[in-house]
Amino acid sequence: MLNGRLFHLTITAAACFTTCSLIPTYAAQRDDKHGGIAMGVSKYGCDDGKHGIKIDWDGSSVEYHCPLQEPFPVFKEVLPVEFCKKKLDKPLHKCLNEEIIYIEHPPTDGPHRPLWPVYGEYRYLPPQRWVHSLEHGAAVFLYHPCAEPGVIDLFKSIARSCLRKHIITPYRFLPEERPFAVVTYGCKLLMSYINQDIIIAFIKAHAPNAPEWLETRDGHFNEELTVKAKIVSDLKDSRLCPFWDDRKVTTSNIL
């Protein structure tokens, strides 16, 4: 009888070692705030960052390649505009068997994938991933693939010098007259040209307002990552845009 009991315990422990520790169950990691699907838990059949990801992007170059022979002109007369939503959509986590479609371009909130992306620059990163980053206090730097290449480089340099929690990716749904955008949780800044002061003021005003700003862990998803983000001030991004601290500006007195 005793031997049988020991055998049962051994089998149970072995089974748990091969399944429980490798594939965390939703029962143990339930997250009701996000619709019952835990944040950052890699799970085959829901989101492991590898299988089924083509539902968000099939790899087509249309997302990052400009079909035009010449880049968009820079419309200096078109002023930057800032939008902030008063009522935000629920930050539900959706498995990859469910399509996520955003009505707003670019989105600032709403449902997203459980695994958020590694911070940095991407050849292309679908919004279903970076919307999760916004909830953690990231600033997402978007540019139209047909924007002026030199201006894109300047745009990227601001992202890298402001905070570790940044995402840089092309986004073809930006309008020609404002082919650049910086997005934080619930807010976005659309621009026709790059003004460092406006961008920095926007980030300082809005990035820390994200509900999970204190989350410092990097993401799990890294498909098409080209440049991983580096620490700017510290892991917590305690000082945003530290190389620009002498610029005492706000978006309200610029726009």
Taking Cα atoms as reference points, which of 175, 182, 184 lies closest to residue 85? 184
Does the N-terminal peptide bond of residue 106 adopt cis geometry, omega within 30 degrees of 0? yes
**Separation CA 6–CA 1 (nearest Å):** 9
Q: Which residue has the tokens 């894109």?
A: 152
| Phi and psi torsions of 83, nearest 5° | -125, 140
pLDDT (0 to 100) of residue 222? 98
The DSSP code for 117 is B
Q: Are 224 and 122 in contact (CB under 8 A)?
A: yes
Per-residue CA distances from 117 to 36, 63, 134 (Å):
20, 18, 11
174 within 8 A of 81, measured Cβ to Cβ: no
State the pLDDT at residue 46.
96
Question: Residue 246's pLDDT is what?
Answer: 55
Query: Quick one: which of 143, 175, 198 has its CA closest to 75?
Result: 175
List of residues 6+ apart from 116 with CB closer than 8 A: 39, 40, 129, 130, 132, 133, 136, 219, 220, 221
Q: For position 31, what pLDDT does the model report?
A: 61
Question: How crowded is the C-beta side of 40, counted as CA atoms within 13 Å?
Answer: 10
Residue 175: both structure tokens together: 């309008």
C-alpha span between 147 and 191 (Å, rounded)? 11
Tally: H helices and E strands in the chain:
4, 7
- Render each residue's pLDDT in the chain as its tens digit; 255 residues: 444 433 333 333 333 333 333 333 333 345 667 768 888 889 999 999 999 999 999 999 999 999 999 999 999 999 999 999 999 999 999 999 999 999 999 999 999 999 999 999 999 999 999 999 999 999 999 999 999 999 999 999 999 999 999 999 999 999 999 999 999 999 999 999 999 999 999 999 999 999 999 999 999 999 999 999 999 999 999 999 998 765 544 444 334
35: phi > 0 → left, psi -120 to 50 → alpha, else beta; which? left
Scanning the structure block, which residue is given the tokens 């480089």? 153
Helix (H, G, I), strand (E, B) or coil at 168: strand
Looking at residue 45, what is its pLDDT? 93
Query: What are the CA-CA distances from residue 160 to residues 180, 223, 240 (Å)?
Result: 16, 19, 11
Structure tokens at 203: 């980030």
